Chain A
Amino acid sequence: MSLPKPEELARVSYQPPARGWMEVKPDFRPGTYCNAASPKWLEWIDYPYPRAWSVADEDWQLPENWKEIVLEGMEDRLARFRSLKLFFDICVRCGACADKCHFFLGTGDPKNMPVLRAELLRSVYKRYFTRLGKALGELVGARDLDESVIREWFFYLYQCTICRRCSVFCPYGIDMAEMTILGREMLASIGLNIDWALASVAQCYDKGSHIGATPQAFKDMIDFLAEENERITGIKTPVSYNRKGAEILFVTPSGDYFADPGTFTLMGYLLLFTYLDLDWTFSTYAAEGGNFGWFISHEMGKRLNAKIYHEAERLKVKWILGGECGHMWRICNQYMPTWYGQVPSFLEVPVSPITGTVFENARVHKMVHISEFTADLIRHNKLKLDPQRNAHIKLTFHDSCNTSRGMGIFEEPRYIIRNVLPEGHFFEMPPNTIREKTFCCGSSSGINANENMELRMQGGFPRANAVRYVHERYGVNHLGCICALDRATLPTLLQYWVPEVEVTGITELVGNALVFEGEIERTTDLRDRELVGVGEQEGGEEEE
């Protein structure tokens, strides 16, 4: 073959051929998938078919009767989840969802159109569970279940972040997130799991948090952050652990106590609780607010969630306060009563000890999100705040999928933001990228593994594109959020697409702004960055 001239190269058509979707098989390009789970994690949590395998292998070493297991699993789920059968049967291929998925927008892969991603599962359902599909096969979009179909499920079900943006646009409300979780359950039933999610699940189950921190490490780290508070503000922020009889159990994701910038949000929690003289405790057993279990199966989600409530019962607290977490919130609000078949009777309906507000919306699960709690405090004028301490911050707010689209927390964080930032420092992204139409961070649902970086950059591109817009137009330099997974993944996303913008939790901004009696003069924010106006007096000329 002779070397191509540039002109010849340019004549090559890169347009992939138009073929039926069943014929196009996924290309497992490194950077676009998560590694296979190590067998040890499966053994820790007693998950089936632990084995050492790699996604790049020709042979995934499926159990001999894998097909039977998957089909029986589908039959079982069709019987248990009416929603699944309904979602399979009701879709009319209207295409309303097609261009709403951030993974479709970012990857350009048509199989990331939610309608097609669902079709990967639906085609098997049709073939084995509908008369028409059994008789007419491919003519009606039904297909045999073979190993290539399983590979396709694995590839695309881990290219869905369970964010449910598509379901907002679906006229029938078909929930792709439910289908993804059930599909992942079926994959897990034949030993196909991703390492990042399984490692987090196993360590949370065994040790208490996704990162596998021991109770000692947990305490040590949080004590350190309390010391940091004292260094910066002059205020001691005492922490209590496993204290029986406390009024409130506080639970937050491990991202808040080990990884920046979550750590600064945790410092904000401690400052707020000290300011209020709140009767609260951490638990080293329920040391994880996040729940990667829910990303792999309902059963595992329940197993991890149960720890929070067992601990609440053991410590005899009245109610639970949750930190800035996304999926913890959605799980407790939406899944708990179904999982347990009852509400936790050992807890009381949450009442703010400061304002007396009864959180009626938490009547069932007895858990309040810190944003609701703080917004209520500000509404009742219980916090002395100095917004000028956040004058170096121009903020836009990312609605985290689970808290916003999942549960409708739209106003509370915005209300807090407006009270802790100087006027004119908050800028919304365009309407079709926020609130219920918010774009996902692209790394949620257990796929924020390092080896999956290219996919994450693609999936998060629509979000970053809107952030870039407000950065360029208004000079926004911070992206606020109330979800720990966002705080873990958005910094990386923005470093690629909009490196001028940093990520912050909202309670960090509250911590900056809170004015204590007896505090030392605040010269920096909680990140040790100099505040606006500091040192100007020494400069001689003061500006009005």
Chain B
Amino acid sequence: MTLKRLLSERRAAILEKWRDRVFGCYPPETAGFLRREADHFSNPVAYRLTEGLKGIYAALVGESSAEQVSAHLDEVLRIWAVQDFTPSQALAFVFFLKPILREELAGELKADAALTAELLDLESRLDGVALLGFDVYMQRREKLSELKVSEMKARISGLLRRVGVDPATL
């Protein structure tokens, strides 16, 4: 059995562990809530983080294109770029998956040496995902700076138009 197929079959269990580990980054009271509340709108952080993890996982098993992985990373990182996460903390979630995979697939890895080679390849690709994550994180931080500037302009945009200046051209 190929690793991809195995990952596809074990998706629910692996994703659950990954998600649990990610929620564990929050204080215990908050982590409990993130795990408990299932409503998409009453628990938006858990919902969007989960969507992001699912997307990244799908990309890893080859179900979605590599281009889409940045969008999936953005689901997670747009939240963590404004919450209390340093850049390294914000990106560590990608690496959480490595020990989870080794633990979850321990039996199969022992039985089939070929799988280990595939796993090493997958781990390398995970490193690549993390590197893309730095781009996404930085884009979000840059977006915040841009918003500060555009908001300053918006506060006086009426005045600018009054004196014949198009705020969009500034």
Residues of A bordering B, CB below 8 Å: 6-7, 9-16, 18, 24, 27, 29, 31-32, 98-99, 104-110, 113, 211, 220-221, 224-225, 257-260, 262-263, 430, 432-433, 450, 453-454, 457-458, 461-462, 465-466, 469, 488, 491-492, 495-497
Contact = CB atoms under 8 A, between A and B. Distances in A.
Contacts of A225: 158
Given A109-B27, A260-B154, A454 B144 contact: yes
Interface residues of B, number: 50
Interface stretch (B9-17, B59-67, B76-84): B76-84
Contacts of A15: 24-28, 31
Contact of A450 (B41, B89, B148): B148
Interface string B143-170: 1100110111011111101100001000
B88 interface: yes
B98 interface: yes
A7 B39 contact: no
B119 to A, nearest CB: 13
Interface in B62-110: 78-79, 82-84, 88-89, 92, 95-96, 98-99
A492 B153 CA distance: 11
Contacts of A105: 42-45
Given A9-B92, A433-B41, A110 B158 contact: no
Interface of B: 24-31, 33-34, 37, 39-45, 47-48, 78-79, 82-84, 88-89, 92, 95-96, 98-99, 127, 130, 143-144, 147-148, 150-152, 154-159, 161-162, 167
Given A259-B154, A260-B157, A461-B79, 5 more contacts: A6-B98, A6-B127, A221-B158, A263-B157, A432-B41
B99 A110 contact: no
A11 B92 CA distance: 9
Nearest to B126: A6
Nearest to B36: A99
A430 B92 CA distance: 33
B151 A450 contact: yes
B45 A110 contact: no
B101 to A, nearest CB: 11
Contacts of B79: 461
B30 A458 contact: no
Nearest to A454: B82
Contact of A260 (B30, B47, B167): B167
13 contacts: A6-B98, A6-B127, A14-B24, A99-B43, A224-B162, A258-B155, A258-B156, A259-B155, A259-B157, A457-B82, A488-B155, A492-B154, A496-B143
Q: What are the nearest 4 A-B pairs in CB distance?
A: A10-B95, A465-B44, A110-B29, A14-B25
